Amino acid sequence: MLESNDILDDGQASAQSGFDQLSASRFIKASGWMTFLGILFYILGGLFSLGFLFALFISGAVARGGGEIIIVILFFLVIVTATFIMGRQFQRLGSASKALQVGGVNRFKTDEICAALKGVFMTIGVFSLVIIVLFLLSAAFGGIF
Amino acid sequence: MLEPENQYSAQNPGGFYDPDQLTNFSPTNRSDLSTAGGWALFLVILSGMSMLFSLFSLSMLPQMNSDEATVTLAVTLIGLAINGAVVYWYIVFYNNAKAIGRGSNDQVHAQKLSSSVLATFRLFGILMVIVLLFYLFGLAFAATGLMRIF
């Protein structure tokens, strides 16, 4: 079964695309770095999770219990989730840009790249906000951390 | 809604219609890029604030000894240079994403946008490689130190 991308012939594809060939070649060049960043954030998320679990159980914090441990768990859950979402968005943009190599630019690839660009910049912004809020919270409740 | 030819004429009085130089972004694409541009502006503000904090750290230089002052100065200047480059490319992205979001069909905006995306992600990637290398060197030195202790 043909994908909807394949149904477009060359004329339709170029007529419906938002980016020209020069822009497409730049996106293709950037796709490697995007994918690299995506994989890196996935690995960072995994390392954060493992390090957190290791620290939690080795330090005996779980055994001690108390209200502080809930805050620490929430803190790390937010960081780990945000890191994985960053990885997903970078990898999505990388895949969308890499897809331009096959068959050039068309409407569907343009849609995917624009949506992925929005996702990446929004995620970096929200991630920065989360870090700032956590930093302010940890400064305010310094004793806890 | 104006036809592409008329839109181009409205934006480029005296210019001629060249279909190869026009974009054909859908309203959804324009909305997405406009939102991305808005977040890029927010990141410009954050990076600008972090540059200001870096400058404040320079005010501590007179209280440091010469070695500490040299390291602090070098790290701050490198940080400022990297932050400056990131801010520049964010601003380029913001300008062109917002221009496309406002309905411009000029292909130059799409080309500048793609070049800013390439520059930003290449910079991030190279930075991450440098950070990873420093981290690995740090681990190697820590391991060497531990081996000496035991």
pLDDT for res B56: 85
**pLDDT attached to residue A4:** 45
Distance CA A75, CA A69 (A): 10
Query: What pLDDT, on a 0 to 100 scale, did the predictor assign at position A74?
Result: 80
Percent with pLDDT over 70 in chain B: 82
Q: What's the start-to-end Cα distance of chain A, in Å?
A: 56
**C-alpha R_g of chain B:** 23
Q: In whole angstroms, what is the distance from residue A119 CA to residue A72 CA?
A: 28
Does A10 touch chain B if contact means CB atoms closer than 8 Å?
no
> What pLDDT sits at residue A65?
66
Spell out which residues of chain A touch residue B132, defining contact as CB-CB under 8 Å.
40
Q: Three-class SS of residue A66?
A: coil
Distance between alpha carbon B4 and the CA centroid of its chain, in Å?
31
Q: Which two tokens stand for residue B16?
A: 């001629």
CB distance B26–A40 less than 8 Å?
A: no
Closest alpha carbon within chain A to B43: A125
What is the band of A70 on the pLDDT scale with cuts at 50, 70, 90?
Answer: confident
Kindly determine whether residue A23 and residue B113, on different chains, have CB atoms separated by under 8 Å: yes
pTM of the model: 0.79
Indicate whether A140 pLDDT > 90.
Answer: no
Of B89, B86, B101, B80, whose CA–CA distance to B23 is shortest? Answer: B101
pLDDT, residue A143, reads 54
- In this structure, are residues A14 and A104 in contact, taking their beta carbons and an 8 Å threshold? yes
Mean pLDDT across A64-69: 68
Asked if the Cβ–Cβ distance from A33 to B125 is below 8 Å, we say yes
For A115-137, the pLDDT digits (tens) are 999 999 999 999 899 888 888 88
Q: Does the beta carbon of B22 lie under 8 angstroms from any beta carbon of chain A? A: no
Q: Output b/e per residue, B33-68; b: 16+ Cβ within 10 A.
A: bbbbbbbbbbbbebbeebbeebeeeeeeeeeeeeee
Write out residues 11-40 of A within 8 Å (CB-CB) of B: 15-20, 22-24, 26-27, 29-30, 33-34, 36-37, 40
Which residue, A92, A85, A127, is CA-closest to A113?
A92
| Cβ-nearest to B107 among A20, A117, A125 | A20
Q: Which of A103, A72, A91, A96 is nearest to A33 (CA)?
A: A91
**DSSP strand E in A1-145: where?**
none
Is the pLDDT assigned to residue A50 strictly greater than 80? yes
Reported as a single tens digit per residue, the pLDDT across B26-38 is: 899 999 999 999 9
* Calpha distance B129→B141 (Å, rounded): 18
pLDDT of B150 reads 54
With a pLDDT cut of 70, the percent of chain A lying above it is 79
What percent of chain A lies above the pLDDT cut of 90? 32
Measured between CA atoms, the residue of chain B closest to residue A34 is B121
From A41, A5, A140, select the one nearest B131 (Cα to Cα). Answer: A41
- Which string of DSSP letters, residue by residue, matches B41-86? HHHHHHHHHHHHHHHHHHTTGGGS-HHHHHHHHHHHHHHHHHHHHH
ipTM of predicted complex: 0.78
- Residues A114/B28, Cβ–Cβ less than 8 Å: yes
The mean predicted confidence, pLDDT, of chain A is: 80
The answer to whether B96 and B109 have CB atoms below 8 angstroms apart is yes
SS3 state at B22: strand
Which residues of chain B have a pLDDT value below 70? 1-21, 145-150
Chain B residues close to A34, C-beta within 8 Å: 121
Which comes out higher in pLDDT, residue A25 or A73? A25
Mean per-residue pLDDT of chain B: 82
